[in-house]
Amino acid sequence: MKMMSKFEFVNPVFLWLLLLIPILIYWYYSKRNQLQASLKLSHTAGFQQRDVLALLKPWLSALKILAVAAVIIALARPRNVGVTTKTKKNRGIDIVMAVDVSASMLAKDLKPNRLEALKRVAAQFINGRPNDRFGIVVYAGESYTQVPLTSDKNVVESMLKKLKYGQINKGTAIGMGLATAVNRLKDSKAKGKVIILLTDGVNNQGAIDPKTATELAKTFGIKVYTIGLGTNGQAQSPVSINRDGSFNYQYMKVEIDEDLLKNIAEETGGKYFRATDNNKLKAIYNEINKLEKTEIETFKYYNYDEYYRTFIWLALVLLFVEFALQRTLFKSFI
């Protein structure tokens, strides 16, 4: 909850009337000089008290002018506005990341490799969405849930860091990865349900084909953003494993089934992206972040402290004082 306050005039146009004050002052002194007459006396001892009253006489008109100014300010309605802002965060979006962890994700066209680059950017994406729940599905030749939907970002990030090649059989089962992600989201009550499907290859494994998984996503109102990961042309890709566990690399043609990924995205109301380098991958996540906004409602409560009554009372007091002095102290003053 946040509180702010500001001073304002409801009808500031009336403040232009204050320009009349100098005109009233000028008019009063001009009139006073015209009405004054001079009188020569041989002795002024008997008029000392009246000399003091003569000096005070102009202040009676000043009281009237100040009263007029106070009325003008009252017409402008000065007030202080206290604003209390309360933000209500609606339930966020449920997002499942379906990540390809096949051997080709170790290709070095993204630095240090596709999988590590993905993990870094995905972690930033997760941190930037505090109101959403996240889940992680991994797939290669088959698929399984690495992290079920949770709002605990520490758990999601920790498991994201642990993603690695070799935890699933070889192959690329895009349909299985998508279907498993759909299964995680189908019972979600969130207003928005999103899958971010990442792959760098072509579907070649799995008991569920991508088209069937796409139909499932549509049935449950799940939007799928697909990302093809890999440069155009050739990339240094792992081709064999040495005895010490290290990989042998050689340049291989990058093959991504872009038609399939575009179809999945279009059918579910999502969008297809191609990440050819680290910067492009980061830009893609930034765009998805903008496309999928979590609704936040802001309520403002206004408290008004009106000051026009103060200036009305001030004007009345000034006029009363002027009237009282005219009828008492200055009553017999010529």
Q: Which residues contact 17 (CB under 8 A, 6 or more apart)?
A: 72, 75
For the chain, percent of residues with pLDDT exceeding 70: 85
- Indicate the domain borders of the chain: 2-35+44-83+300-327, 91-294
Nearest residue to 143 via CA among 88, 100, 186, 196: 100
- Residue 140 DSSP code: S
- DSSP string over 57-103: HHHHHHHHHHHHHHHHHHHT-EEEEEEEEEEEE----EEEEEEE-SG
Helix axes 210-219, 174-185, angle to 10 degrees: 20
Q: How far from chain centre, in Å, is Cα 97?
A: 25
Q: pLDDT for 270-280, tens place per residue? A: 999 999 999 99
pLDDT band at 40 (very low <50, low <70, confident <90, very high): low
- Per the structure block, which two tokens stand in for 301? 């409560």
Confidence of residue 266 (pLDDT cuts 50, 70, 90): very high
CB of 231 closer than 8 Å to CB of 261: no
* Contact partners, residue 303, CB within 8 Å, separation at least 6: 81, 82, 83, 84
Reported as a single tens digit per residue, the pLDDT across 236-261 is 998 888 888 888 999 999 999 999 99
Q: For residue 88, what pLDDT is reported? A: 57
Q: Note the pLDDT of residue 303.
A: 85
pLDDT (tens digit, 9 = 90+) per residue, 49-92?
455 666 666 677 888 889 999 999 999 999 998 877 665 555 67
At residue 333, the pLDDT reads 53
- Cα 119 to its chain centre, rounded Å, is 26
Structure tokens at 231: 């440069």
Residue-wise pLDDT tens digits, 99-112: 999 989 999 999 99
pLDDT band at 26 (very low <50, low <70, confident <90, very high): confident
Q: Give pLDDT, residue 167.
A: 73
User: Cα dihedral angle (315, 317, 319, 320), rounded to 10 degrees?
Assistant: 160
Looking at residue 334, its pLDDT comes to: 47
Query: Which H or E run contains 279?
Result: helix 278-291
Token reading at 202: 């072509």
Query: What average pLDDT score do residues 207-227 get?
Result: 96
Per residue in 180-203, pLDDT (tens digit) is: 999 999 999 888 999 999 999 899
Per-residue CA distances from 9 to 12, 16, 72, 78, 84 (Å): 5, 12, 12, 4, 20
Give the mean pLDDT of the chain.
Answer: 86
Q: Is 133 helix (H, G, I), strand (E, B) or coil?
A: strand
The two tokens of residue 264 are 């999945």
Tokens of 265: 């995205």
Burial status of residue 76 (CB atoms within 10 A of its CB: 0-12, 13-18, 19 or more):
buried
Say how far apart CA 262 and CA 219 lie, in whole Å: 18
Band the pLDDT of 169: cuts 50, 70, 90: confident
The residue count for the chain: 334
Q: Residue 301: beta bridge partners?
A: 84
Per the CB < 8 A criterion, the answer to whether 267 and 178 are in contact is: no
The helices-and-strands tally (H runs, E runs) of the chain is 9, 11
Render pLDDT for 293-308 as a digit per residue (tens, 0 to 9).
766 555 677 788 899 8
Q: Is the pLDDT of residue 151 over 60?
A: yes
Question: In whole angstroms, what is the distance from residue 273 CA to residue 177 CA?
Answer: 18
Question: Parallel, antiparallel, or unpaired for β 193-199 and 94-100?
Answer: parallel
pLDDT average, residue stretch 136-164 = 93
Question: How many angstroms separate the CA atoms of 86 and 91, rounded?
Answer: 16
Range with the largest mean pLDDT of 7-11, 165-169, 261-265: 261-265
Does the pLDDT at position 34 exceed 70? no
The pLDDT score that the predictor gives to residue 140 is 92
Question: Taking 90 as the threshold, does the pLDDT of residue 316 lie above it?
Answer: yes
Cα distance between residue 217 and residue 178, in whole Å: 8
Predicted pLDDT of residue 87: 59
CATH number for the 91-294 domain, one of 3.90.330.10, 1.10.1510.10, 3.40.50.1370, 3.40.50.410? 3.40.50.410
Tokens at residue 210, please? 């991508």
